[in-house]
Amino acid sequence: MHSKLPPLNALRAFEAAARHLSVKAAAEELCVTPGAVSQMLKVLEQHLGVRLFVRVNRGIFLTDAGRDYLPPVRNAFRQITEASKRVANSADSGVLTVSATSFFASAWLVPRMASFRDAHPEIDLQIVTSNALVDFSRSGIDVAFRHGHGCYPGLRSDHVLAVEMVPVAAGALVERLGLPASPADLASWPKVQDADRKGWSLWLQAQNLAETALPLGPSFDDTGLLLQGVIAGLGAGLLPAAMVAPDIEAGRLVQLAEETHIEAFAYYLVYPEANAALPKIAAFREWVLDAIRTDLCAVPRG
């Protein structure tokens, strides 16, 4: 039994020689010498521990083992070829996979998808909802919308829009600490933090308050989980106003101060710098930024 894969060149030599039943024809196809093909076939037979060909004066014939081995090898090469074509074709056109938070996708992106389809019918949008930072090298994601500070090493971040943020807390926590009379009173409250732990600092700056050492508190890279942490009473949270409006109305949360527009704490379009010139990414980027510029009244407050 062999746990290691056979050498790829030997497999290619086997498939070509089996298809032509000729070492010479296989060598011509692979642009190598017949001696090189014969050596690769020998390496493969030694690796497998079986004979794949019967060699006669006028040519070669497959053994029973060779006939059994050929279909899966041929199928594997066919699958690799087809997959390679799909990847190559999708690099410039076809499907554009976009990652976005559920809130941003439903509030801003989905209502405008028809506009993008009309402008670029050759590109199909595939929306994947997630709050976590994307690993572009493994996930198959082309671009991502993320809310934060736009600082992602190795990635390009285009500022899309800033939204009004509001501090909120669970009713039980407000009953225990008392409703803050001013933004300054919130400085000492327990906090639920964003992943970068910068949101509250930016909020304090926006209130013209001196930045102080913030109380420690749990942090989340998932906005939905951060919201649930606030509802559970873990601390005050800073969240998009439109996102928490239903919870405030239902009495699950209490608004602690006025809504604040924090320009640096915004939604960004994020993607690898090396892919910026790909036609489908460039087209999507321009469409997004144009939509923000020309349709400001339709931008959601959240």
Give me 27's structure tokens. Answer: 């060598």
**What DSSP letter does each residue of 236-293 carry, written as one string?**
EEEEEHHHHHHHHHHTSEEE-S--EEEEEEEEEEEEEGGGTTSHHHHHHHHHHHHHHH
Residue 243 within a domain: yes
Domain assignment of residue 125, yes or no: yes
143 belongs to a structural domain: yes
Q: What is the CATH number of the domain that holds 213?
A: 3.40.190.10
Is 212 in the same domain as 246?
A: yes
Residues 167 and 258 reside in one and the same domain: yes
Question: Residue 63: which domain range?
Answer: 8-89
Q: Verify that 168 and 243 share a domain, yes or no.
A: yes
- Out of 66, 89, 112, a domain closes at 89
Please tell me the distance from the alpha carbon of residue 142 to that of residue 272, in angstroms, as a whole number.
Answer: 8
Q: Residue 301 has what pLDDT?
A: 44
221 within a domain of the structure (yes/no): yes
| Stated length of the chain | 302
Judged against a pLDDT cut of 70, whether residue 65 lies above it is answered with yes
**Residue 214 and residue 127 in one domain:** no
Same domain, 199 and 180: yes
Beta pairing partners, 219: 193
150 and 275 inside one domain: yes
pLDDT digits (tens, 9 = 90+) for 170-206: 999 999 999 999 888 888 899 998 877 788 888 888 8
- The pLDDT score that the predictor gives to residue 229 is 93
Write the pLDDT tens digit of every residue in 256-292: 999 888 887 888 999 999 899 899 999 999 999 998 8
Residue 103 has pLDDT above 50, yes or no: yes
Token pair 């934060």 in the structure block, residue: 148
Note whether 242 and 153 are same-domain residues.
no
Co-location of 259 and 269 in the same domain: no
Domain CATH code at residue 32: 1.10.10.10
Please tell me which residue, 150 or 113, carries the higher pLDDT value: 113
What is the pLDDT at residue 49?
93
Is 1 part of a structural domain of the chain? no
Residues 269 and 156 in one domain: yes
Question: Domain for residue 81, yes or no?
Answer: yes
pTM for the whole thing?
0.58
- The number of domains in the chain is 3
The three-point CA angle 240-207-168 to 5° equals: 35
Task: Assess if residue 17 is contained within a domain.
Answer: yes
For residue 222, is it within any domain? yes
Q: Rounded to whole angstroms, how far apart are CA atoms 1 and 15?
A: 21
